[in-house]
Amino acid sequence: MLGFNNDQLIHTCVQTYVQGAGKQTGSLILGPMPTEADIKGQDILIVDEVWDTGMTLDFVVRYLKDRGSKTITIAVLHYKPGKSRIKNKKPDIYVKMTDAWIDYAWETARIKGKQPISVSRQTKPSRIFKLDPPPPVDID
C-alpha cells in the first residue's frame, strides 16, 4: 500500500514536553536516533501526532538532512498554526488544524502509570539539546 516493508521503519524518540505537566522543558530530549547508514539517500516519511511549535520536527528534519536523506515528508494528525515557531512552513500532510491543547490516549495512559506498548520504555535520554534561543530555521 505505502510501498515499503516494516523492516524499513525507523524509530526516533525526541520530546520537549514534561510528561503530565503540559509544558515544555526548553530542551530537546533525544532517545534512539537513526544512523547515517539508515538515512543516506532515502526518501523519508516522518509521522508524528502534532506539529505544535514545530521545533521538534524542525530538529528531526535538520538531523535527517545532515545525514544525507534524499527527500523528507512530514505527516501529523494535528497542525497548530497559531503555535508554530517555524516561519513559512507547515507539515506536508495533516488531518486537522487546531490551536487547542490535545490529550492523546497514549499520554493519558502514561499519566495514570500505564505504559502503552507503542511508547519507548527508555529510562534516560541519550542526549539533550538546549532550545533557548530557538534557531530561526526553514525546513527546506
DSSP state string for 68-119: T-SEEEEEEEEE-TTT--STT---SEEEEE--S----HHHHHHHTT---TTS
Where residue 126 falls among pLDDT bands split at 50, 70, 90?
A: very low
Mean pLDDT score, 14-33: 69
Residue 30: what pLDDT? 82
Q: What is the pLDDT of residues 39-92, one digit of tens each?
A: 999 999 999 999 998 988 999 999 999 999 999 999 999 999 999 999 889 999
C-alpha cell, 75: 505527516
31 C-beta neighbours (distance < 10 Å), count: 17
Task: Please give the domain boundaries of the chain with CATH numbers for all domains.
Answer: 6-130 (3.40.50.2020)
CA 53/CA 136 separation, integer angstroms: 12
CA 60/CA 52 separation, integer angstroms: 14
Residue 57: what pLDDT? 93
Residue 60: what pLDDT? 93
CA angle (120 as vertex; 118, 123 as ends), nearest 5: 150
Residues pairing with 93 in the sheet = 75
